[in-house]
Amino acid sequence: MVGLSWGASLAPIFGAIETRIKLFVLEAGGLVDRSLPEIAPVNFAPRDKAPTVIFNGRYDLSFPVETSAKPLLDLLGTPKQKKALILFDGGHVPPLDSKLKKEMLDYLDTYLGPVR
């Protein structure tokens, strides 16, 4: 599953309730504290076991690295070796430059296998 911004912040809910999702590629996401407890992603994150990579901007004001992206990564129930936070220089929207694309493709190849 790929999620960008709000979609990335809701990913823990989907990962906790849908076992068919094999991995997450999240861009510009993190924890939000604006939900009712019964639908708050923070309460679903520990049940999410799928490999996850989060791409976030160092200067993202919507989902700051230290208070939003890192806490989400830490809360995920995914084994430590199967989750990663990759930072890029920028704000909320990740650039689709060749370096970021390569990181995404490498991650996908690791868990889904190379494209044939």
- The predicted-structure confidence for 34-43, as pLDDT tens digits, reads as follows 778 888 999 9
Average pLDDT, stretch 41-48?
A: 94
The pTM (predicted TM-score) of the whole model is 0.89
pLDDT at 95: 84
Under the banding of pLDDT at 50, 70 and 90, the label for residue 99 is confident
Q: How many folded domains does the chain comprise?
A: 1
CATH of the domain at 63: 3.40.50.1820
Strand order in the sheet with 52-57: 2-4, 24-27, 52-57, 83-88
pLDDT at residue number 44: 94
Domain with 62 in it: 2-112
> What is the residue type of 73?
L
Largest Cα–Cα separation, the chain? 44
